[in-house]
Structure formats: structure tokens, C-alpha cells
Amino acid sequence: MAASSFLDKLKKRGFEEEASAEKPTASSGGAEGVVKMPEGEMQLDIDMYQMPTEVVLVTQIAGVSLKEVAIGIEGENDVVVIQGEKKLPDIKDDDAEPSNMKFIHQEGHWGSFYRRILLPGEVIPGEADAELEDGVLVLRLPLAQPSASAGSQIRIHRRDDEDEKKKRSSKK
């Protein structure tokens, strides 16, 4: 029954457009609520797990600093937006001019990324936690009752930042 209601929710909110689109394109202002990938941005691959009290999202964003990622909660506190940029490292050779360099083979995905995910239920934005370690982003979103506040940004932290805070507080 829950799977059916979640699928109905996806269809009602227009997310079936995102799932069925062969090639991401910018929204052309069609039906209200239809979600399409912004033009020129790559889509993150997301794993989503539902636990009894939270939803957990996991994605790989190797090579991205915390300053280059933004996570927000929208809609009725049931939509997560993750966006940022994967910057191509500056490859230099002191003996070669940049104009003499050319790609021979490229499989990496560089540039802006964006992902909008409809969650199976409403979450509590103020209690959400995002952790980035070794290029893996883990986002924990506590499930809420239907009456939480609308919209919020989520701060991402590194695990070693949290360990430092614990060390400092234990020394006091």
C-alpha cells in the first residue's frame, strides 16, 4: 500500500517526467510541478533508504569541497535538492602550451550537478544531517509528522570536523 501511495505522490507532483526523460532538458514552463533537469547540469546518482525513523540518501561526489555543495529541503518538506560543481583539476605541463593539450579520452563528469529527489514522507529540516567523507555524501533526514516548518538549508560537515569538536569539548 505504501509503495502505491508513493508512486501516486510521484505522479501527482510531476516527478514521473524526471524518471522517464531520456535526456535531461531544461523545463519549458509546461505543467505546474513538473520537474526536469536544468540544462547543462549532470544528474547525481542517489541511493535512498527508508528506515523506521529516517530517510537516508547516499551519493558519490568525489573531488567536491564542502563549499561547492548546497543541500536544501523544499515543497512540503518532502523534496531534497542537492546541487554543486565538480571542477576539473588544472592539468599543467611546464613544457607544453595549454593550446597544445587535447583530450584523448574522457569519462569523467565535470561541471555543475543537480538532483531533486521526492522523499517518501515529510522530514524535519532542522534535524537533518549531511556528512561528506572520502567523496561520499550521506544525508540523514528524520521523518516528521505532517506539520513541520517549510524549507531549509542543510549544513554539510566532515567526519574529522565532528571528531575535533568532540575532542575540544572533552578537554574542557
Per the CB < 8 A criterion, the answer to whether 64 and 110 are in contact is no
Domain boundaries, the chain: 1-40, 44-88+110-172
pLDDT of residue 18: 46
**β-bridge partners, 47:** 58
Q: Share the mean pLDDT of the chain.
A: 74
| Cα four-point dihedral sign 85, 127, 169, 163 | negative
Taking the whole predicted model, whether its pTM rises above 0.75 is answered as: no
The 10s digit of each residue's pLDDT in 31-50 is 333 345 566 678 889 999 99
Residue 2: Cβ within 10 Å count: 9
The 10s digit of each residue's pLDDT in 119-160 is 998 999 999 999 999 999 999 999 986 544 455 677 787 877
* Predicted confidence (pLDDT) at residue 70 exceeds the cutoff of 90: yes
92 or 32: which leads in pLDDT = 92
C-alpha distances in Å from residue 72, one per residue of 5, 96, 98: 24, 43, 38
Confidence of residue 89 (pLDDT cuts 50, 70, 90): confident
97 or 53: which leads in pLDDT = 53
Topology of domain 44-88+110-172, CATH: Immunoglobulin-like (2.60.40)
C-alpha distances in Å from residue 5, one per residue of 2, 117, 121: 5, 16, 10
The 10s digit of each residue's pLDDT in 105-123 is 878 778 899 999 999 989 9
The H or E element that residue 10 is part of is helix 2-13
CA separation for the pair 1, 16 (Å, rounded): 19
